[in-house]
Amino acid sequence: MSIAQASFICAPTEASPIFMKKIAVKNPCQSEIEISGLGFFELYINGKKVSDDVLVPPTSDYGKRDLSTLYYPIKDTFSHRVYYCRYALSEYLICGENTVEIQLGGGYYCQEVRTGEGKLSYGKPILALSLTVDGKEYLSDASWVWRDSVIVSNNLYTGEVQDFRHRDDEWKSVTLAKAPSGKLCESDCPHDKIIRKIRPAIVFSDGERTVYDAGVNLSGVVGFRQRANKGEQTEIRYAELLDGSSHLWTVSAGPIVQRDIYISNGELNFCMPKFVFHGFRYFEIIGKAEDVLVYEIHSNIPLRVKFFSDHPVLNFLFTASVRSLYSNMHAGIITDCPHRERLGYTGDGQLTADLGLTVLSSEKFYEKWLRDIADGQDPETGHVQHTAPFQGGGGGPGGWGGAIVIVPYMLWLHHNREDLLRTYYPNMKKYIAYMESRSENGLVVREEERGWCLGDWCTPEKIVIPEPFVNTYFLVKCLQYVAQTAHVLGDSPKSWLKKAEERKQALRKHYYDEETNTYCADVQGANAFALDIGIGNETMMHTLVEKYEALGEFDTGIFGTDILIRVLFENGFGNTAMKLLTSEKGSSFGTWMKRGETTLCEYWDERKSHNHHMFGAPLRYVFSHILGVKDDGTTPLIAPEMLTFPIKLETYMSTKFGNVFVRREITEKDETITVRADHCTLFRYRNTEIALIPNEESVFYFVR
């Protein structure tokens, strides 16, 4: 027996019901539970919470639902799955009678407030479980009972309302619910937890309203003790920014205001939401609150690297990128932002997958999200959705749909996951076929009927780089990855490389100007796109360098920025890449630093969200090119790029080959590189190539 034999049960309420059953136990040893409470659940035995996990199980595309409310027609067929969690229970059970209680919250499963992309709720909260103890199995069925909780409403986007006057001691019969059509799967990815507690600073108070600063932009909640008269209300509102010094500026998080409300029963209550998280730095409390703390919440994924430099902008880029990644890792998906949209946009996620796998121990996290991407791919056409799990959302066929190729390829590079290449090779081929079906004259020119077909996104000025140019670039790039995949799997790469060459010729024909030696007049980094797939030339490369040496800032969007920095490093122009990465002019990371940001922004200016991770993608080259740690191949290698940019930086990294320490100091006259690895590693720089002795520090000194 297992959870597959259990019935899903529900209650008439859409708020936060509690389900209960009493069981008699003789021997608590070797007891466990398989449980899926949708959207999210908390499990209690004898009043004690089981596990420190929060916001579980991981979210997914749970089953079939009505997609007719979306802004553009969706005709695709999806795969569906429902995750459950497994917990050992021996430390929670006692000999004798035990009370098992499960409280549910809406999560992504019954989300009916934010309808910007249409109403996509799956229904009321539901529960299925299998509890095994004393060799006996207890399944969720009609014998369970339920009651209301103090949570009278909860929504992932708007927040939670708790009314402590709302006491319901009457247990009522549950209703059997229709099971979601998704396949039941055990969760194997990192779960969300309370990562740390922060004591916020008061920045304003007038006796009725107090404004706090958590110190950094993050994802989480606020908890406090409420000592108030019966019926009195304490409200918390969240924002990323302040409007002046004493009022929240909530516009960056969209039209829906994030807030939690607590209504007192006249007793001392601890107040903290259970089934939501917010994206914020600042918050205000209206009403009575004591012992106020911020609880940072995200998926429990360890950092793989330590990093330090003597350049403040590089340090900012590292800390802000990591914090932005963490803020957007929840319930098994990587979202775009933790407040306004909080959807698993495939464009944002694939763009920073290389970085996420470089700086975080995130293999299982990305493997789970990859399944979501594949679940949203139509098995006939090969079309890949813009969000995974699918929740609507706009994007494009290249930068977004290409996730089905790019994410497994990155998992292979970082963790030798040939099994994932083999599993998703058919998906990759279907995606290529889809891109070909959306092409005219060799260019990718459309996606779905009445849908979005973006190229690049979030450029400083209005987007002018042509969408077909960008989408065809991604087709070529993905063809190159598919060719490499074919080679690894023992298949012939020739047909894929031939297709890539044909698309390159189409780009040359339609976008190359021989007189100016540019693609698309080199608007918004167009020449970098061309050089990255091998359709530029040496003169074009030098012109690109001259342009950005003079410009000193980015004119590129989310994809162009990453591509530009990669092209500069890979072609021996690391000094120019460093000048852009450390610039404090105009559209730059240094401008964000000077503005006081603690996470990365959605746009180069102050529009919209201040906690998007997508622009952090170029940080990966600090480790792979400046410090030279190549953990994305088959041989351990440290091979820094040539630089004269004065800087001192170091990293300690956990790689698939083992632990590595690298320190590099560059002055106007010379440079020193210090290396230590706990495995045999090849060091290669300038005219030096030497095999390092494991666990022995080696110091290399070079004069200009």
HEC string for 12-49: CCCCCCEEEEEEEECCCCCCEEEEEEECEEEEEECCEE
- Note the pLDDT of residue 1: 59
Of the candidates 335, 399, 338, the one whose C-alpha atom is nearest the C-alpha of residue 369 is 335
- Note the pLDDT of residue 169: 85
**pLDDT category of residue 516 using cuts at 50, 70 and 90:** very high
Q: In terms of residues, how long is the chain?
A: 704
Per the CB < 8 A criterion, the answer to whether 90 and 74 are in contact is no
- Note the pLDDT of residue 313: 98
Mean pLDDT for 53-79 is 92
| pTM value surpassing 0.75 | yes
- Asked if pLDDT for residue 188 goes beyond 70, the answer is yes
| Rounded CA Rg of the chain | 27
Per the CB < 8 A criterion, the answer to whether 31 and 88 are in contact is yes
What CATH number does the domain located at 312-626 have? 1.50.10.10
- The structural architecture, per CATH, of the domain 3-187 is Sandwich (2.60)
Helix (H, G, I), strand (E, B) or coil at 510: helix
The pLDDT tens digits of the residues spanning 323-374 come to 999 999 999 999 999 999 999 999 999 999 999 999 999 999 999 999 999 9
Residue 475, C-beta contacts closer than 8 angstroms, at least 6 positions apart? 398, 432, 435, 439, 444, 503
Of the candidates 468, 460, 325, the one whose C-alpha atom is nearest the C-alpha of residue 398 is 468
The pLDDT tens digits of the residues spanning 97-138 come to 999 999 999 999 998 887 667 778 899 999 999 999 998 999
User: DSSP state, 614?
Assistant: G
Residue 696, C-beta contacts closer than 8 angstroms, at least 6 positions apart? 676
Mean pLDDT for 408-426 is 97
Q: What angle do CA 125, 128, 131 make, to 5 degrees?
A: 140
- Does 312-626 match 195-299 at the fold level? no
Check residues 80 and 116 and name the one with the higher pLDDT. Answer: 80
- Note the pLDDT of residue 115: 63
Per the CB < 8 A criterion, the answer to whether 528 and 551 are in contact is no
Q: Which residues sit opposite 180 in a β-bridge?
A: none
Mean pLDDT for 393-401 is 96
- Note the pLDDT of residue 634: 77
The bridge status of strand 159-163 relative to strand 259-263 is parallel
Side-chain-side CA neighbours of 579 within 13 Å: the count stands at 15
Cα–Cα distance for residue pair 218/240, rounded to 1 Å: 9
Check residues 67 and 146 and name the one with the higher pLDDT. Answer: 146
What is the distance between the terminal CA atoms of the chain, rounded to a whole angstrom?
A: 71
Biggest alpha carbon distance in the chain? Answer: 87
Cα–Cα distance for residue pair 94/434, rounded to 1 Å: 57
The pLDDT tens digits of the residues spanning 588-599 come to 999 999 999 999
Per the CB < 8 A criterion, the answer to whether 240 and 252 are in contact is yes
User: DSSP state, 357?
Assistant: H
Task: Give me the percent of the chain exceeding a pLDDT of 70.
Answer: 99
Continuous segment of H or E residues that includes residue 326: helix 312-327
Calculate the alpha carbon distances from 549 to 488, 604, 646 in Å: 39, 19, 16
The pLDDT tens digits of the residues spanning 613-641 come to 999 999 999 999 999 998 777 789 999 99
Residue whose token pair is 């000048």: 579
Per the CB < 8 A criterion, the answer to whether 704 and 645 are in contact is no
Residue whose token pair is 């389900």: 19
**pLDDT category of residue 412 using cuts at 50, 70 and 90:** very high
**pLDDT category of residue 303 using cuts at 50, 70 and 90:** very high
Per the CB < 8 A criterion, the answer to whether 612 and 347 are in contact is no
198-212, 242-256, 478-492, 523-537: the lowest-pLDDT one: 242-256
**pLDDT category of residue 13 using cuts at 50, 70 and 90:** confident
Cα–Cα distance for residue pair 366/412, rounded to 1 Å: 11
How many helices and strands (H and E) does the chain possess?
14, 41
Residue 650, C-beta contacts closer than 8 angstroms, at least 6 positions apart? 307, 308, 309, 627, 661, 662, 663, 664, 674
Mean pLDDT for 21-48 is 96
- Note the pLDDT of residue 261: 98
The pLDDT tens digits of the residues spanning 657-678 come to 899 999 999 999 999 999 999 9
The bridge status of strand 209-227 relative to strand 290-299 is antiparallel
The pLDDT tens digits of the residues spanning 263-277 come to 999 999 999 999 999
Phi, psi at 39, each rounded to 5°: -65, -60
- The residue ranges of every structural domain in the chain are 3-187, 195-299, 312-626, 647-703
CATH C-level class of 195-299: mainly beta
**pLDDT category of residue 467 using cuts at 50, 70 and 90:** very high
- Asked if pLDDT for residue 508 goes beyond 80, the answer is yes
Task: Give me the percent of the chain exceeding a pLDDT of 90.
Answer: 91
pLDDT, averaged across the chain: 96
